[in-house]
Structure 1
Amino acid sequence: MAQGQRCDFLILQEQDRTEHIPTKKELADAEKHSWVRIPRYDTSPAERLRICVGGGLRHRAGEWADAADCPLEDQLAEIVQEVGLRGEAAERKRLADLEPAREKRLQWEAAMQRAKIDFAEAARVQHLEAQERAWRRATGLAEYVGALRLHAQTLATGPERNGAEAWIAWAADHVERLNPLNGTLRLPEIPEPRASDLEPFLHGWNPYGPGYSAPTDCHRAYSERDGRARASHQPTPSPTTEKGTAQSRIAICSEESPSIPDDSSDMDGGVRQTCVTSVKSASRYRP
């Protein structure tokens, strides 16, 4: 073994060849039977050896034998050198073969880093858009609550007015909880992405490693839908700890939720449809 390259050695004893002298029996048998062939030469073991080296890329020679002017023991240094050259060639080839794989892994790692950044950016964009929708909804409801107050002032004192004021008080609290401007504004927490979450941002790379094939069209379509939905599942910050629309949104978008809660009617159709698709897809494709 030379630098990982296996070399096989075969030591042979050479044979001397002399002309064969037929015997009387061989001549008689050949005359009697047409298939009898008399050999032309006789062989006998010689006092010479031959060394054969196999394996690896051949450089100078593959066989060395005793000769009158150069016995085999004087050629041992050349044999050792040949084995070393084959080992060096094998090591160069191994490193050359590793270079494309190393370059591919570096490209994959860079793609994974970019995908994580893009996933986080998509999550922030979805969170911002969800806040904007909640703010517009809260603004519209606040205007309606103001109209309710004006209408309640026209009611006579009594049970009807008391009921209207109780309803208005609850509605005002609900609008306050719904409006993201009443909470703490900060960057949303980005969930740790799974492999399927990163696929839409990898542009053909496989999230499991550079040695894996690219995702199929069917798998990519599912991953894009599921990954973008998960990136968008950032709850709108709630100014209070009471359960409200924001917590209903979290329950609907949670991976652990097997069904859609009954109090999800306050969500807009687009977000609710995305979350339903994510839950159904997860139950269908994941063990």
Structure 2
Amino acid sequence: MRKLTVLLLVLIVISAGCIGGNTSQTQSPTASQTGATQSTSSVTSTATTATPAEKTSINPLKELQAIKQYTYTENASVELRINMTAGNITQQTNVSLVIVESGYVDLDGMKARIQTRTTTLPDNVTINTTWIVIGRKVYVENFGNVTVENNTAFWRINPVSLARELLKLKPVGNYTENGTLVLVYSVPEELVLPLAELYFTTPEMNTTVTDATAELYFTEDGFTGMKLTYGILATTTTNGIGGEIKVTERGLWKGTIRITSVNKKEEVKAPST
């Protein structure tokens, strides 16, 4: 599943050009610090105008436990700042990603099909990726090629599984708004780190997640979706033409997920390799 990340990093480095020339060291707030400020203000503003959650009869645990299969859509935006350092020369590249994802997940059968369209800005380069997950096997298809790896992380970080884990924690806020129960969480790093690694980093990167917050949405019809925000810091070194290059990646993820159907079984088959 990390093939997507590798391709994106290649595109980003190409768009930035060779190391050199730009040595600006201007300091600005990190993406994770910005995300913390934005998410905190969002929680505060909504909580002060909403109805206390105790007035609703919605049972979040019951609603999540009832989900065996589901489909979802996700719209996410990502702001990345990548510093590439060779010797005493550093070049900074700022990139934005727009991610549109749709998926089908069979929790009982441990099968899933995920289609992701990622566009990099300002280059306006688009990558289409299909993930087929069957048990612990993950098939990744992009540019007409299919790769296979063993990875069980998806069964911990898909939207419903992640929501179930969050329900085990005490929310930092809860309210109802227009008939929707909203549970607000400060997300521990260990819960969201596998998700960040799938999208942003390669196995050799040292990765840290910061300021992760989540909102879970429930109505009388069940679990309707979630919002997830987190910052990421990842570092690695690689060998370039002129020697060793240190890469530091800072990013801010903002994603909104909408559950589009529940308990409607679909067929998922492994692609030919």
Bucket of the pairwise TM-score, normalised by the shorter protein: under 0.3
* TM-score normalised by the chain length of structure 2: 0.23
Higher relative contact order (CA 8 A, sep 6+): 2
Structure with a larger share of its residues in helix: 1
Higher share in strand: 2
Normalising by structure 1, we get a TM-score of 0.22
